[in-house]
Amino acid sequence: MGEQVVTFRLQESSAARLVAVRVCLVFALPLAAVLAGCGATAHEAGSGRPPADAPAARCRSGPAPLGSSRVTVTAVVRSHAVAYRRPAARPFARFDRLNVNRFPNVFRVLSALRAGDCRTRWYRVQLPIKPNGVTGYVRAEAVDTGRVRSRVLVDLSARRLTLFRNGRRALGTTVAVGSPATPTPTGRYYVNQRLIPADASGPFGPAAIGISAYSTVLTGWTQGGPIAIHGTNEPWSIGRAVSNGCIRVRNDVLRRLFKVTPAGTPVLIRR
């Protein structure tokens, strides 16, 4: 499998459309360069300004949580964004408009840091980098924001995936999860890229929903071993702990899931 090549076509997300991104590229990458070998079975081993004539608004400055159990705020990089541990501290990560797979860089927004004039200066965001779940601050003017009304819950013990829309259960399905040797990492993540294989009969099925998690075992893989929810050409594996860390669903279910999980969708993976 190490020499296999899979061609992917980028799927524009609703979050990406906030900045009028028009992604219609077709590109080829080594299979391991996109996901952590997940297609194979594992073997043991910003706020707007008020009108000019409006009275100046005053707000209590400081952090304000964003989002709820039904709505998540997502941010798309305009052209370049820098992440800081604290506002205006030394930067620790930098992001261009597109990631290594040529998909728009997207963050999950956790809170906003507003000034006394009610304008948002900073966003605290979850980042799609290691270690899993890392957060930082980005300047508000570096991103465009939007709302996502879907979320995904993956229960590893039950080997079940549940999709919620507007806070209500919309879909439930049995999944394949990581093997004991290559477990699916638990934690709170979000959809950060969406990929469509050129060959829907391949190991990823008709599509792959990339999330901001990385394998804690396959650390030597290209791109650090990213995790995804995807289809499969091994339907017998559904309901088993056999993958290299990714979450497999039946191809017909994956098509439905892909339509309603835009970039920024929260993904909770628990045992």
Per the annotation, the verdict on 43 as an active-site residue is no
At which residue do the structure tokens 């948002």 appear? 120
Cα–Cα distance for residue pair 150/260, rounded to 1 Å: 7
Average pLDDT, whole number, for the chain? Answer: 84
Per the annotation, the verdict on 24 as an active-site residue is no
Which conformational region is residue 156 in: left (phi greater than 0), alpha (psi within -120 to 50 degrees), or beta? alpha
Higher local confidence (pLDDT), 26 or 9: 9
pLDDT band at 253 (very low <50, low <70, confident <90, very high): very high
Given this model, what pLDDT does residue 212 score? 98
Tell me the two tokens of residue 64. 């304000």
Catalytic annotation, pick one of 24, 43, 118, 230: 230
Domains located in the chain, CATH noted: 5-42+150-270 (2.40.440.10), 62-148 (2.30.30.40)
Beta bridge mates, 94: 82
Of 15-29, 57-71, 245-259, minimum mean pLDDT range:
15-29
pLDDT band at 245 (very low <50, low <70, confident <90, very high): very high
| Helix, strand, or coil (residue 8) | strand
